[in-house]
Chains A and B, each alone.
Chain A
Amino acid sequence: MNRKILTALLLTSGLALAGCATKPKELPPQPSGATTTTTTPPPPVTTPSGPVPGSRADFMASVLGDTILFDTDRYNIDSEDQGILQSQAQWLARYPGKRVTVEGHADERGTRDYNLALGERRANAAKNYLVSLGIDASRITTVSYGKERPVALGSDEASWAKNRRAVTVTVE
């Protein structure tokens, strides 16, 4: 009998945990003028039709790409990656109040734990390159999704190549 109650408690506590999980990862900054000392004052709006400067859309429109790709089990930054990361660094230099998260990923052809470590390594390789270009390390966080979040869903070399990636995402 008390086992049923226990089960019910476990279920409700599970739901409570789930409630925490649904919270947004980062709360948006309060829209109060007093706190804008560290957040970037929005540059004057010049083009009413373009993306809002400093926004995620602006980032995507300004950089060569948000994603760099890796060879199997590798995490080195090649010249193509360097060009993409340089364009990201330029944008970050333009908006010093903006922060980014670099997400590291692996393809499905590896074991789960190792791929989490590998994704972390790739995200840090991208971060380190951005830092080498003068971006403050405190503005860049990393997260690894291992093989848990593929963008290409096939089980073939072309799909795996797209999934071995580090993606730079602006923190809104």
Chain B
Amino acid sequence: MRSTLVAGLCAFLAVSPALAQPVPSPQPSASAAAVSADTSPEEDVVGTINNDAAIAIPVFPTNEMLPTAAEGGNTEALGRNLARVIYGDLKNNGLFRPVGPDALPGIGYGEVTAPQFPNWRARSAEMLVQGFVKAGADGRLTVGCYLYDVALGSELARQGYVVKPEEWRRAAHKCADMVYSRLSGESPFFDSKIAYIAETGPKGNRRKQLAIMDSDGANHRFITNGQATALTPRYSPDYSKIAYLSFLNGTPRIYVYDIGSGQQRLVTEGKGPTFAPRWSPDGKYILYSMAIAGNTDIYRVPATGGDSVKLTDSPGIDVGGSYSPDGSKIVFESDRSGSQQVYVMNADGTNQKRISFFGGRAATPEWSPRGDQIAFTHIAGNLRIAVMNPGGGDMRYLTDSWQDEAPTWSPNGRIVQFFRTAKTTGKTSIWQVDLTGRNERKLNTPVDASDPAWGPVLP
């Protein structure tokens, strides 16, 4: 499964929309020379995070309208869909003010590498994302993506992708990732997926199904049909498997579901109920929590199966666990001191130390993929999403609602997703917020949603 994905999405760097013509290397136009005399102010704007940058994203033209299995049915319609997906990604990020293809004039195929900068300046665009789409004889699509600085009249970045028609969205996400990375200086994250729990039915009888979707909510798919309650999924780092909890045989047990084969197996044959599955960053191990005679401890087992190692041994509830990005440490939750608090230990279980000392209860810690922050659920009456540094300092809230819980990080460690439960109705929804706490938004899901688990950026 993974190998087809990798083979399916080949990035290339030197893209030209018209292969028959000599490659129009992005030479600065004559007028750009004059502009380049006073580039420093603009350079500063681009070099730092260009907040509220107006980014124009016109339709991606095609060299020849050909039928394709991708959304739209032909390459011309697909070019509009590509630009729409890029627009959606950048808009929902909150950092930018993109203007999409439905509000802009189209461009000619030859303009892709020779932008009409004066026209875009007249529209007050600061940045310009142009691209093209072509269908090959084998049905594969070639998508080119260019980012231009309109004020400078120069190209900032370019990428190209060859994708199978059914993976056309990945080309758009990769393009949005290129733009985001170049303008913000952060790592990409749009080309990634989310596993979560889809919820339906009344509060007293909720149906909970395992489901997956792309980071923008597209390609939604239910994995289980909801007859057995499913909870707390986690994607393996290579997206080939999902570890999750199911009441399949009446008791809560963690299963490892193989997406390619549709088969699943118990994470351990151990006799106690198991919950809170977590993968190691290299995908080689799974952490799980198991209750024996009412006492819950954290265990580690090879992802391929085998003997488990017990990492905690306290009379309290030790549960969850999230590896530091280098795999050397684990942050987890324990009530050994009387209430839920956050602890850090070495990956082998040694040197367990409490790090949360700010009042209230602290639960569901998740280590940022960047390593610099730990997101968690703070409980003091209401449940709120908060972050702290790995030493337990600099605690601050990201949300303020009645019940927000279970944070999961974007692959680049800049956004936290979580789920929100409504008072009384029990209705759930997935939300995300950036580290400033200002850009908060609800994700669109077909039904109610909880327990989000964001995976890494696809290769």
> A residues within 8 Å of B by Cβ?
3, 6-7, 9-10, 12-15, 17-18, 20-22, 25, 73, 75, 108-114, 116-118, 120-121, 123-125, 127-128, 142-144, 146, 148-151, 153-155
A150 & B203 in contact (Cβ 8 Å cutoff) = yes
The A-contacting residues of B in range 198-232, CB under 8 angstroms, are 202-204, 206, 208, 221-225, 227-229, 231-232
User: In the complex, what residues of B have CB within 8 A of residue A25's CB?
Assistant: 249-250
Given A25-B249, A121-B294, A148-B206: A18 in contact with B225 (beta carbons within 8 A): yes
Cβ of B160 within 8 Å of any chain A Cβ, yes or no, is: no
Whether B224 pairs with A18 at a CB distance below 8 angstroms is yes
Main secondary structure of the interface of A (DSSP, over half): helix
List which B118-169 residues lie within 8 A (CB) of chain A: 166
A-B pairs, top 3 by smallest CB distance, nearest first, are: A124-B294, A13-B262, A117-B296
Are B451 and A112 in contact, CB atoms less than 8 angstroms apart? yes
Q: Cβ of A10 and Cβ of B262 under 8 Å apart?
A: yes
Given the known interface contacts A108-B421, A111-B363, the answer about A120 and B383 at a Cβ–Cβ threshold of 8 Å is no
Complex CA gap A98/B248 in Å reads 24
A121 close to B262 (CB less than 8 A): no
What are 24 residue pairs bridging A and B, where the CB atoms are less than 8 Å apart in the complex? Answer: A10-B223, A12-B262, A13-B261, A13-B262, A14-B262, A25-B250, A108-B426, A109-B383, A111-B363, A111-B364, A111-B379, A113-B275, A113-B289, A114-B319, A117-B275, A117-B317, A120-B273, A120-B291, A120-B294, A121-B295, A127-B294, A143-B250, A144-B273, A155-B424
Across-interface contacts of B236 in A (CB, < 8 A) = none
- Chain A residue numbers with a CB within 8 Å of B248 are 17, 20-21
B17 at the A interface (CB under 8 A): no
Distance of A107 Cα from B267 Cα, bound (Å): 27
Q: Mark B328-343, 1 if CB is under 8 A from A, else 0.
A: 0000010100011000
Count residues of B near A (Cβ-Cβ below 8 Å).
Answer: 57
Which residues of the other chain, B, contact A10 by a CB distance below 8 angstroms? 223, 259, 262
Q: Within 8 Å of chain A (Cβ to Cβ): is B405?
A: yes
The reply to whether A144 and B364 form a contact with Cβ atoms under 8 Å apart is no
| Interchain CA distance A13-B222 in the complex, whole Å | 12
The reply on B403 being an interface residue by CB < 8 A is yes
Binary contact track B87-120/A, C-beta < 8 Å → 1, others 0: 0000000000000000000000000000000000
Asked whether B227 lies within 8 Å of A21 as measured between CB atoms, the reply is yes
Q: Does B79 contact A (CB under 8 A)?
A: no
Closest to B263 in A: A13
- Does chain A have a CB within 8 A of B423? yes
Given known contacts A10-B223, A118-B317, what 5 new A-B pairs fall within 8 Å (CB)?
A17-B224, A17-B225, A108-B421, A111-B383, A142-B294
Q: Which residues of chain A are within 8 angstroms of B314 by Cβ–Cβ distance?
A: none
Inter-chain contact B252/A116, CB cutoff 8 Å: yes
Residue of B nearest to A152 (CB): B204
Q: For A75, list chain B residues within 8 Å (CB).
A: 294
- B405 surroundings in chain A (CB, below 8 A): 111-112
Instruction: Specify which of B204, B224, B294 is in contact with A153 (CB 8 Å cutoff).
Output: B204
Q: How far is the CA of A127 from the CA of B224 in the complex (A)?
A: 33
Complex Cα gap A121–B317 (Å): 9
A14 to B426, CA, bound (A): 27
List A contacts of B223 (CB < 8 A): 10, 14
- Which residues of chain B are within 8 angstroms of A9 by Cβ–Cβ distance? 262
Asked if B377 lies at the interface with its beta carbon under 8 angstroms from chain A, I say yes
Tell me the complex Cα distance, A153–B206, Å: 12
Whether B286 is near chain A, meaning CB under 8 Å from some CB there, is no
Bound-complex Cα distance A17 to B228 (A)? 9
Restricting to B293-337, which residues have a CB under 8 Å from any CB of A?
293-296, 317, 319-320, 333, 335
Which residues does chain A contribute within 8 Å of B320, judged by CB atoms?
113
In the complex the two chains form, is A117's CB within 8 Å of B291's CB? yes
Chain A positions within 8 Å of B166 at CB level: 3
| Shortest Cβ distance from A118 into B: residue | B317
Q: Would you list which residues of chain B between 394 and 452 have a CB under 8 Å from chain A? A: 403, 405-406, 421, 423-424, 426, 451
Q: With CB as the reference atom, state the residue of chain B lying closest to A125.
A: B294
Question: In this assembly, does B51 line the interface, its C-beta being within 8 Å of a C-beta of chain A?
Answer: no
B269-292 interface mask toward A, CB cutoff 8 Å, 1 = contact, 0 = none? 000010110000000000001010
Checking A15, A113, A116 against B364 with a beta-carbon cut-off of 8 angstroms, the contacting residue is A113
List residues of chain A with CB within 8 A of the CB of B39. Answer: none
Contact status A144-B379, CB under 8 Å:
no
Complex CA distance for A121 and B295, rounded to whole angstroms = 6
Determine the chain A residues whose CB is within 8 A of the CB of B240 once the complex forms: none
Contact B232 A113 (CB under 8 A): yes
Partner of A111 from the list B208, B262, B406 (CB cut-off 8 Å) is B406
B412 CB to closest chain A CB (Å) equals 25
Contacts of B276 in A (CB 8 A): 113, 116
Nearest CB of A to B319, in Å: 5
